[in-house]
Amino acid sequence: MTVLKIGVVEDELVIARTILNSLEELGYSHCGPAINYTEAVDMLDNDKPDLVLLDIQLAGRKDGFDVAEKINETYKIPFIFLTANSDFETIGRAKLVKPHAYIVKPFTKEELYAAIEIAFNNFTAHRSHTKPEKGASHQGRNFMFVKDGYVFRKIFFDELLYLESEANYVLLHLKSLKKIMVRSTINDFMEHLDPDRFVRIHRRFSVNVHFIEDIFPDEVSLQGHRLPIGKSFRDGLFNVLGIKHS
């Protein structure tokens, strides 16, 4: 799968259009919107989305809980409830059908992105009972969002020069010379990157191989930076670059 297809079930067309626009900006494919149970089932049958954004209140006799039950019984794909309701009764009913996330309206584009990525990642990991393939959620896109304080910032992979580990943080070094600090270990952060493009060269550093200019016995140079090569990482770097060495 390269780009996730997101199905939208939402009976308020203004909100539906906002959601579709956000999905396009985030790089997802989409189908819908379906405004009731029947249209939702038709969309699931014909368009085969990878994940569904599902409003609880829908036009007609059947609501989002009915669609959720149908998804669990027949389609077995992840779904996320989008709702203006956060009362105990609604949440209690939602728990019974086991949504993969629950977003209360209004929500931001960044919150939507985070919910989709986490929901789909957890679903596929649970289904396969194996560790998700590195970089799988970002194949087909040339960017990712990272949390910088209270803001989710869009980072283009073509701008990401190298990563530097700082204990429980990762410092992202960009071509623009800007640096962004992300709360994560470098091992965890690397799980979200393409392993053919971003390669660990040292316990503290990972580099974008597209920017490597020269390789010295113990260092690499890229865009004016010289970074050390750890002995245990040298073979992995050379393998990715297709370099034969003795």
The CATH number linked to 75 is 3.40.50.2300
Edge-to-edge, what's the strand order for the sheet holding 169-174? 179-183, 169-174, 160-166, 205-208, 198-200
Cβ atoms of residues 6 and 29 within 8 Å = yes
Query: Cα-flanking dihedrals φ and ψ of residue 138, to 5°?
Result: -115, 5
Task: Assess whether 10 and 87 both reside in one domain.
Answer: yes
For the entire predicted model, the pTM comes to: 0.55
Q: Round to whole Å and give the CA distance between 225 and 11.
A: 53
Query: What is the four-CA torsion angle of 35, 77, 184, 218, rounded to 10 degrees?
Result: -120
Cis upstream peptide for 106 (omega within 30°): yes
Residue 137 predicted with pLDDT over 60: no
Q: What angle do CA 150, 30, 111 make, to 5 degrees?
A: 15
Q: What is the reported pLDDT for 6?
A: 96
Choose the final residue of a domain: 128, 147, 174: 128
pLDDT attached to residue 202: 95
Highest mean pLDDT among 96-100, 177-181, 184-188: 96-100
The total domain count for the chain is 2
Chain-wide mean pLDDT for the chain? 88
| CA 26 to chain CA mean position, Å | 10
199 and 109 within one domain: no
Q: Are residues 122 and 48 in the same domain?
A: yes
In a domain, 136, yes or no: no
In this predicted structure, what is the pLDDT of residue 140? 56
Domain end (from 112, 128, 144): 128
What is the Cα–Cα distance from 190 to 179, expressed in whole angstroms? 17
Last residue of a domain, one of 128, 144, 163: 128
Domain identity same for 99 and 162:
no
pLDDT of 102 > 60? The answer is yes
Domain that holds residue 73: 5-128
